[in-house]
Structure 1
Amino acid sequence: MTHPTDTRPPRPLDRYFGISAAGSSVPQELRAGLTTFLTMSYILFVNPQVLGSAITVPNAPLQLLMTTAIAAAFGSLAMGLIARYPFAQAPGMGLNAFFAFTVVQGMGVPWQTALGAVFISGALFVILSAVGARQAIVRAIPLSLKFAITAGIGAFLAFLGLRSAGIVVSNPATLLGLGDLSAPGAWLAVAGLIISAALMRRRVNGAVLIGILVTSAAAILLKLPVFAGGPDGAMQAFPGFGGRLLGVIDTPVWPGSLVGQLDLAGAFGLGLLSVVFTFFFVDFFDATGTLTGLAQKAGYLDSNGDMPRARRTFAMDGLAAMFGAFMGTSTTTAYVESASGIGEGGRTGLSAVTVGGLFLLSMFLWPLAAAIPGAATAPALILVGALMMEGIRHIDWDDLGESLPAFLTIIAMPLTFSIANGVSFGVITYCAVNALTGRARRVHPILYGVAALLLARYVFLSEG
């Protein structure tokens, strides 16, 4: 880091990413990127499982893993190098399930045509970003909702962590319930949470990453059944690396059966317009909400709630979706797990570049990612989720026109398992309550238009 009294120009890396200006350092950015990668590397294995139920190609699991890694690497590198923010990207959860189960299996749409729909929706993102429409929408969202979006993402992250640890489970009587706290995954996650929180409280650098590595090592050494992939989907002890070179190196495979297979002509068909716009609406507000929340957490929003370089940032999100569709995967988008790296101190695009590089490396070292169980990354999600709740103290809870939309934004994200739904509920409620209580002019005109579109989406595209 450049000393304040040092008159020498900053080194090219520092100057390009603005590392010193952001109060960070190269080691801190690299550590943050590694933390983000570890918390989202599960997508390398989950995305092929989800898409594999709909995409039938030779050696589908490995080809889908490779195209997932390539799409995540491209999206993260684009965000880091061009937008210069610490926001990693990868094929999004939720949209991959909509792609596989609703569009391909449920509607009988060929997977090639569904990829075409994803590509078109990404192109729409880029166009709207280039003309400034996405930035205008973000500016129209009041500060109370922006704080609520950040807090809602925190609640969503914590819920993901609790679910991954088996502490919160589904319950047929109450929808959700308390899991088996005597299970190895649960107490391993609790131990990791306490370790990471204690280290962070003592201001130890790399606290979150240390927690992940310590609990992963404990799971392997103690042979705890916390790793996925056992018979009939049961959890198992770490199975080892097999006979691979040095234990962790394996040969990458080019996903030739997936690359360039998208069917744009079929996606433009009248019958698929609803699919295209469902992809568009869901990812638009999911990604916009995620990027806004992450920017607020990283301290990049100014007093007006604007994000510097917003146009190129949102454009990189759309470009990543287009590239991912070309490579053969569902929508690539900004990952909420980037908050773990931000919590570790990541403040510049070097963190996202690190994530992108690690995804490329995972094409050779992907067996190593299997050594990090979900129970080890769960504490990072819970801890960062708690830190992201800080902004709710800025919300005026005495004003129902501010507090109710904020509350619905926060609570809807984990309960509906969707950032997009949380943003939508907050925007619609904010417009309705203020319009009906004589404060219609308090709402930006653009926000009324957004609310109308969101209502139309729920009425006419409810299958998404």
Structure 2
Amino acid sequence: MLERLFKIKERNSDVRTEITAGLTTFMAMAYVLVVQPSAIIGFGAEQTFIDVNGVVISRAALLFMTAIISGLITLLMGCYANLPFALSTGMGTNFMLGALIQSGTISFGNSMAIILISGTIFVLLTVLGMRDFIVKAIPVNIKTSISVAIGFFITYLGFSNSGIGNFKNGIELGNFSDPNVFLAVVGLIFIAVLTVYKVPGALLIGIIAITIIGIPFGVTQVPGQLFGVPNINEIGHLTFSFDFTGLLNGRTIVLIFIAFFGDFFSTLGTVLGVGEKAGLLDKNGNFPKIERPFLVDAVGTVVGAFTGCTTISTFVESSAGAQVGGRTGLTSVSTAVMFFISILAAPLFLMIPDAATSPALIFVGYSMISSITNIDFTNFTESFGPFVMVIFTAFTGGIASGISAGILADVAVKTFAKTEKAEKAVHPVMYALCIPLMIYFVFN
């Protein structure tokens, strides 16, 4: 039955290898269960958060839904697309929307409405086969710099939440005599060493190690019970929690743009990158039936919006499973099973302190920032937009403002450049996009 469903032998694999690959992928990306709740309601010891509309959001419910949806959509990827790709709440959009929720700028329902709209757009464009049009409309330097800018923002959060950096009165070094800061630095070094030796699941191992070490330091608070699930009321606050009021403004358009394009290009890059490592590309470097993983990803985002999850994205950590031989959907099925099992261990994940999660955030930021090498800084017209995007994001602490400024700067420089090549680099879609971005700055 497994052979008939997954064509394991046809792809030169076996059941044991596929299951091992699935477990490896889960180990590499399980940190999302720790990070996602904090991304939405903030870091710290508080277990609940009340948004601007009075909706009570709990860490336990966020973790529960993240595990459930990650498992279900990854299972769909394995059974429908027969690919070794795992999905969960992507890093980037969750922090952007979480920061706005925590500041009271938008409600939790607003954020879910934004995710629903962006996911629906993704589904429609995938079904209509407009993937190539979107890829051509957005210049390569902008695609790359969006990831880099988000990486800087996530790194900033890692420094801020751990206390390694003190940003209350400017930019200062944190108090290294604080046990939280000390353990965060130890965690950062430990994960770096594991990464050097290419240990699968380095982030998760680092998180677990610092959590255990933090117990005698008083940093980690052990819960009364180690296994359990949240009550139905907590979960109910997340489901169908849509709030479409106050969304008709420039800021919302920018947020939808970021959520959609962030997911779209992240999925494109991950599918091609992991597909190459798994030997799934054809002789021309193309991915056969690429619309299938795109559709699963897009549907996942829509389903996630109905259940309180931010953008569902194909995780680059899937490459860890591909590295050990994962070639079929059985790898994804194995990863999905692990997500379902992790639901019962929710209290264990919730006891993990900021000192353990912050180093992981810094490494997630590193993985996104590293793509800056793909930007040609010897070409001013190609590099000025990305420069503005990264600097605005890093020094204003806002992803939306940074990405908006970067796109406007890129279009402006290329429009007024005297070379014909620069003038042709601006797609008409980019000019149309500049209108809501300018409105965003004028009214925000």
Q: Under TM normalisation by the shorter chain, which class is it? A: 0.7 to 0.9
Distance change >3 Å, CA 146–CA 160, structure 1 → 2: same
Partner of 2:356: 376
Tell me if 1:449 matches 2:429: yes
Of residues 14, 27, 30, the one that matches 1:34 is 27
1:366 positional shift:
0.6
Structure 2: stretches of 5+ with no match in the other structure: 42-46
- One of 122, 126, 148 as aligned partner of 1:129: 126
Per the alignment, in what secondary structure is the counterpart of residue 249 of structure 1?
A: coil
Shift of 1:168: 2.0
- Alignment check: 8 A CA contact 1:137 1:446 kept: no
Q: 1:12 to 1:79 in 2, by over 3 A?
A: closer
Q: Which residue of 1 aligns with 2:222?
A: 240
User: Residue by residue, what CA displacement relative to the aligned partner does 1:260-280 show, whole Å, maximum 9, x if unpaired?
Assistant: 6557xx84x8x7544864552
Whole-Å separation in 1 of the counterparts to 2:12 and 2:362: 27
Amino acid paired to 1:158: T
Contact kept? 2:33, 2:67, Cα under 8 Å: no
Shift of 1:299: 7.6
* SS of corresponding position for 1:182: coil
Task: Give ranges in structure 1 of 5+ residues lacking alignment.
Answer: 1-8, 106-110, 226-237
The one-letter code of the counterpart of 1:334 is S
Residues 117 and 44 of structure 1, relative CA distance in 2, 3 Å threshold? closer
After TM superposition, give the deviation of residue 285 of structure 1 in Å: 3.1
* Cα distance, 1:129–1:433 mapped onto 2, change above 3 Å: same
**Matches of 1:311 and 1:43, distance apart in 2:** 27
* SS of aligned partner of 1:334: strand
Normalised TM-score (structure 2): 0.74
Is residue 22–residue 333 contact of structure 2 (8 Å, CA) maintained in 1? no
State how 1:53-92 maps to structure 2 within 5 Å.
53-54=51-52, 66-78=64-76, 82=80, 84=83, 85-89=85-89, 92=94
Partner of 2:30, secondary structure, is helix
One-letter amino acid of the structure 2 residue matched with residue 377 of structure 1: T
For residues 59-458 of structure 1, the aligned pairs below 5 Å read 66-78=64-76, 82=80, 84=83, 85-89=85-89, 92-98=94-100, 101-104=104-107, 111=109, 118-172=115-169, 174=170, 176-220=171-215, 222-225=216-219, 238-242=220-224, 244=225, 248-254=226-232, 257-258=236-237, 261=240, 267=244, 272-274=247-249, 277=253, 279-291=255-267, 294=270, 311-327=291-307, 329=308, 331-334=310-313, 338=315, 356-417=336-397, 422-439=402-419, 441-442=421-422, 447-458=427-438
Deviations 1:229-257 (A, max 9, x none): xxxxxxxxx33231x3xxx2214534574
TM-score of the two chains, using structure 1 as the length reference: 0.71
Cα offset, 1:180, TM superposition: 1.6
Q: Deviations over 1:25-55 (max 9, x none)?
A: 6535423322322245232355466863246
2:264 aligned partner, one-letter code: T
Q: Deviations over 1:301-338 (max 9, x none)?
A: 999998776544444444233323333x2643438xx4
Aligned counterparts of 2:131 and 2:96: Cα–Cα separation in 1 = 22
Per-residue deviation, 1:95: 2.2
RMSD over aligned CA atoms reads 4.5
Counting matched residue pairs gives 422
Does the CA-based 8 Å contact 1:163-1:169 persist in structure 2? yes
Q: Report if aligned partners of 1:428, 1:455 keep a CA contact under 8 Å in 2.
A: no
Q: Deviation at 1:419?
A: 5.2
The alpha-carbon distance between structure 1 residues 34 and 432, as it changes in their structure 2 partners (threshold 3 A), is: same
Name the amino acid aligned to 1:283.
A
Q: 1:355 and 1:391, CA in 2 relative to 1: closer, same or farther beyond 3 A?
A: same
Q: Letter of the aligned partner of 2:427 in structure 1?
A: L
Deviation at 1:367, TM superposition (A): 0.1
Q: Distance in 1 between matches of 2:113 and 2:374?
A: 42
1:52 paired with 2:31, answer no
Describe the shift of the 1:273–1:207 C-alpha distance in structure 2 as closer, same or farther (beyond 3 A): closer
CA distance in 2, matches of 1:152, 1:20: 38
Matched-pair contact (CA < 8 Å) for 2:66–2:89: no
Residue 195 of structure 1: how far off its partner (Å): 2.2
Aligned mates of 2:373, 2:52 — CA distance in 1: 45
Deviation at 1:403, TM superposition (A): 2.0
Assess if the C-alpha contact under 8 Å between 1:412 and 1:422 holds in 2: yes
Q: Would the alpha carbon gap of residues 300 and 178 (structure 1) be closer, same or farther in structure 2, given more than 3 Å must change?
A: farther
